[in-house]
Amino acid sequence: MMTNWIPQYITNGITESSNSQTLMKDLPKNEQVGMLMLELRKTNSATIYNTRSIMDEITKIEIIADGSKVIASAQPEVLSYLAFVAQGGEVPDHRFFKGGAAVQRLHLPIWFGRYPWDEEYLLDTGQYSTVQVWITYALDTAYSASGSFQHTITYWRPLTKLPVKGFIRSREIKVEVPSAAAQTIRHDLPVTYPWHLVGARIHDVDQDINTNLTGIELNIDSGRLLLVDTDADEIYYENMRKFRPAHGYVNQPVVIGAETDVQTFGEWAFPRGAVTVSGNRLPVLTGLAGETVDITVYVADTGVAATDAIPIALDMPSSMPHKCMLIGDFRKWPFPIRNYKEAWIDYVMAAYTITLRTFVQEVVAEKL
């Protein structure tokens, strides 16, 4: 069966007067939803070069049924990565312009199928009394214009009703900021629904993942089955094989002096180049670590380090947007975790301060 998909607004260009809230909007009743598209905007402060993206100012995005049943719940970086995976390595359209008074835009698709436009797995809101999208945000008014948060929310439905088998549930399982010490961190995993994928976000802007994390073990029933037992760099290379390096957001001007650090969007963001946009200046990438790129700018005809600030544009592809990675990939065949009693991930950590998030996607039959 090949159906057509129809987009319909829930909200259209609504600006919120509040700078901090949990925004709640109802999804339509008795509808089948293949994808929910969030377009979220803010306007930068007019007087400051912005180092805060709209993604930094959104704490969590959730889809909640009947007031408490979690259909999706994660920070926007994780949801963006899950969209990247679902779309076969295509980064969602995020435009985080840095200049004063510029408009930043986060386009974030949330897929409810095993893949885009899945005709068997999608969200059936008729199974619940209410389904809402919750967006928790707090604008930093030092960097963002007050009262500038804007949203357009669109759902995509099939032209004709489909025989639905279930949907893909997306959620963070645990968030932790461990002490900066060499140790093993354990995160328990759910065992109720079959797994679609299991992943983690290891967020430390100035260290690579395989520096923060020396080993990963995905353990089922106290060692009866080890789905993963390897070094972090092996997981990275497997992610590289699955997803070719993708480009993050759009090229953005970055005002820099003689030497500075610039944060990119992905882990191990091997550069394809940096290009000057004015003057006889030559930018040279001197180092890469985590999401951070060290750049030195030279005067082209003398070879000495420049002392004036100039704009450059970066083009930095990565296979691991937002420092997220797949640990267990069961997209072709769901892992039957309900046949087992318990499961966890052991992260063998080095002595760095990080934020560690474990997330899963589960295959839910019909309804929660």
- Cα 86 from Cα 103, distance rounded (Å): 27
Q: Domain check: are 47 and 99 in the same one?
A: yes
Quote the pLDDT of residue 226: 96
Does 264 or 321 have the greater pLDDT score? 321
Quote the pLDDT of residue 278: 62
Residues 61-88, mean pLDDT to the nearest whole number = 98
Q: Give the end of a domain, one of 164, 198, 227.
A: 164
Quote the pLDDT of residue 343: 98
Q: How confident is the model at residue 35 (pLDDT cuts 50, 70, 90)?
A: very high
Q: Domain check: are 122 and 271 in the same one?
A: no
Q: Domain check: are 280 and 302 in the same one?
A: yes
| Of 184, 185, 233, 228, nearest in space to 208 by CA | 233
Q: Domain check: are 128 and 65 in the same one?
A: yes
Among the residue ranges 72-76, 174-178, 303-307, 349-353, the one predicted with the least confidence is 303-307
For residue 189, give the CATH number of its domain.
Answer: 2.60.120.730
Q: What are phi and psi of 190, to 5 degrees?
A: -75, 150
Q: How far is CA 143 from the centre of its chain?
A: 22
Q: Domain check: are 127 and 66 in the same one?
A: yes
Q: What are phi and psi of 242, to 5 degrees?
A: -80, -40
- Cα 368 from Cα 364, distance rounded (Å): 7
Residues 353-358, mean pLDDT to the nearest whole number = 95
Q: Give the end of a domain, one of 276, 296, 313.
A: 313
Residue 333 has pLDDT above 60, yes or no: yes
Q: Is the dihedral of CA 79, 151, 264, 242 positive or negative?
A: positive
Q: Domain check: are 176 and 227 in the same one?
A: yes
Residues 70-83, mean pLDDT to the nearest whole number = 98
Q: 178 and 356 in contact (C-beta within 8 Å)?
A: yes
Q: Domain check: are 27 and 83 in the same one?
A: yes
Residues 1-26, mean pLDDT to the nearest whole number = 96
CA distances from 207 to 266, 349, 357 (A): 12, 12, 16
Residue 220 has pLDDT above 80, yes or no: yes
Among the residue ranges 128-137, 188-197, 280-289, the one predicted with the least confidence is 280-289
Q: Give the end of a domain, one of 293, 313, 333.
A: 313
Q: Domain check: are 88 and 190 in the same one?
A: no
Q: Cβ neighbours of residue 146 under 8 Å, at least 6 residues apart?
A: 19, 139
Q: Domain check: are 53 and 146 in the same one?
A: yes
Q: Domain check: are 141 and 286 in the same one?
A: no
Q: Give the pTM.
A: 0.92
Among the residue ranges 35-49, 124-138, 258-272, the one predicted with the least confidence is 258-272
Quote the pLDDT of residue 53: 85
For residue 121, give the CATH number of its domain.
Answer: 2.70.9.20
Residue 324 has pLDDT above 90, yes or no: yes
- Cα 313 from Cα 258, distance rounded (Å): 16
Q: How confident is the model at residue 126 (pLDDT cuts 50, 70, 90)?
A: very high
Residue 154 has pLDDT above 90, yes or no: yes
Show the domain range for 279.
251-313
Quote the pLDDT of residue 251: 47
pLDDT, tens digit (0-9, with 9 covering 90-100), for 159-216: 999 999 999 999 999 999 999 999 999 999 999 999 999 999 999 888 888 889 989 9
Q: Domain check: are 268 and 196 in the same one?
A: no
Residue 59 has pLDDT above 60, yes or no: yes
Among the residue ranges 56-60, 70-74, 130-134, 312-316, the one predicted with the least confidence is 312-316
What is the total count of domains within the chain?
Answer: 3
Quote the pLDDT of residue 253: 54
Q: Domain check: are 208 and 355 in the same one?
A: yes
What the block records as the tokens of 94 is 């995020």
Q: Cβ neighbours of residue 187 under 8 Å, at least 6 residues apart?
A: 173, 174, 176, 344, 345, 347, 356, 358
CA distances from 143 to 52, 101, 102 (A): 7, 10, 11
pLDDT, tens digit (0-9, with 9 covering 90-100), for 234-280: 988 898 889 887 766 544 555 666 556 666 777 766 665 556 556 67
Q: How confident is the model at residue 294 (pLDDT cuts 50, 70, 90)?
A: confident
